[in-house]
Amino acid sequence: MSTKSTGSRSRTPDIHLAQQPDADALLGRSPLAALVGMLLDQQVPMEWAFSGPYTIASRLGADDLDAHEIAARDPEEFAALLSEKPAVHRYPGSMAQRVRQLCAFLVEEYGGDAEAVWADAATGKELLARLQALPGFGKQKAQIFLALLGKQYGVRPTGWREAAGPYGERGAYRSAADITGPESLAKVRAHKQETKAAAKAAKAAKDAKTSGN
């Protein structure tokens, strides 16, 4: 998965997001698999989300994902494929639609080449804008993926850390961008739980103040 923005790399990155060798190998060599994994990373454990691209490719009888093929698939047939046990996501039907929308966008805007989204991005700000334009990618998801590209895939246009916001920070354990193995996965999971607990406590305090007025 080379990049024009920093020059071609001689090796495939060693990815550990799915915590499964075959699934992680696909994430390392396939730009589209990485994008789809990031798309699926919501409301399910990260390992489940990032193993999804490998599961989809296997059920399609392929060793990689193809944006043209997925975009052209019958919607109901593709949804059924993601719904097979074990399901690719907690909400396989809606996520099947999102994956197809993403692939259709890539075909329309980038000729089906997922890597073209970031290959010639000159700045982090430009890359963030491109990622946010992708179906299913809000600002937070785009920033996390930008950080993942920079930290693990060697895609580092000028200002990429700043554009990725807190997810681009060195030594942080905030997101998928920081997972390099079981230990860092545990740290990221702990950080997410702390963030949720803090948000819950803040909401409870606000509700108590409101009811007291």
Among the ranges given (15-29, 47-61, 86-100, 178-192), the one the predictor scored with the smallest mean pLDDT: 178-192
* Cα–Cα distance, 134 to 109 (Å, whole number): 10
Query: In whole angstroms, what separates CA 132 from the centre of its chain?
Result: 12
What is the predicted pLDDT for the residue at 11?
Answer: 61
Model pLDDT, residue 184 = 80
Instruction: For residues 21-38, give the mean pLDDT.
Output: 97
CA angle 83, 85, 89 (to 5 degrees): 50
Average pLDDT, the chain: 90
Q: Which residue has the tokens 């090796």?
A: 11
pTM: 0.86
3-state SS of 88-142?
CCCCHHHHHHHHHHHHHHHHHHHCCCCCHHHHCCCEHHHHHHHHHCCCCCCHHHH
For position 212, what pLDDT does the model report? 67
Residue 34 confidence (pLDDT): 98
SS3 of residue 3 by DSSP: strand
Structure confidence by residue, pLDDT tens digits, 161-189? 999 999 999 988 888 899 988 888 788 87
- How confident is residue 1, by pLDDT bands cut at 50, 70 and 90? low
On the question of pLDDT at 45 being above 70, the answer is yes
* pLDDT digits 0-9 by tens, 80-123: 999 999 999 999 999 999 999 999 999 999 999 999 999 999 99
